[in-house]
Amino acid sequence: MSEIATNPRTQTQVKVERPRLHKVILVNDDYTPREFVVFVLKAVFRTGDEEAYRIMMAAHQLGACVVAVFTRDVAETKATEATEAGRRKGYPLMFTTEPEE
């Protein structure tokens, strides 16, 4: 009896990759009041007072700041919700998203 396999089976290698995370970025502007930016960060991103203030000031001084990272859907939903909150008050407050490297 031959030792050579006559019916070799193919094996499928399934590669599962973690979904890329997306950053939510807060963009500075000259019109939205600081307190309102802090209010939105706390309401939408559930940060505490001090973290919201730190993120707001970083965007204010540097032009933009990463708020947090999420899966793409969550990042886009939160960015839209936070931008809408500003728009409803007539402010140009802007949150954008971009994929992490």
**Contact positions vs ligand TYC (CB under 6 A):** 26-30, 32-34, 37, 56, 59-60, 93
Specify the residue, 15 or 28, whose C-beta has the smaller distance to ligand TYC: 28
Answer left, alpha or beta for residue 100, where phi above 0 means left and psi between -120 and 50 means alpha: beta
Specify the residue, 20 or 98, whose C-beta has the smaller distance to ligand TYC: 98
Q: How far is the CB of 46 from ligand TYC (least distance, A)?
A: 18
Instruction: Report residue 84 as tokens.
Output: 């809408």
Q: How far is the CB of 71 from ligand TYC (least distance, A)?
A: 23
Q: How far is the CB of 29 from ligand TYC (least distance, A)?
A: 5
- Helix and strand counts by DSSP (H, E) for the chain: 3, 3
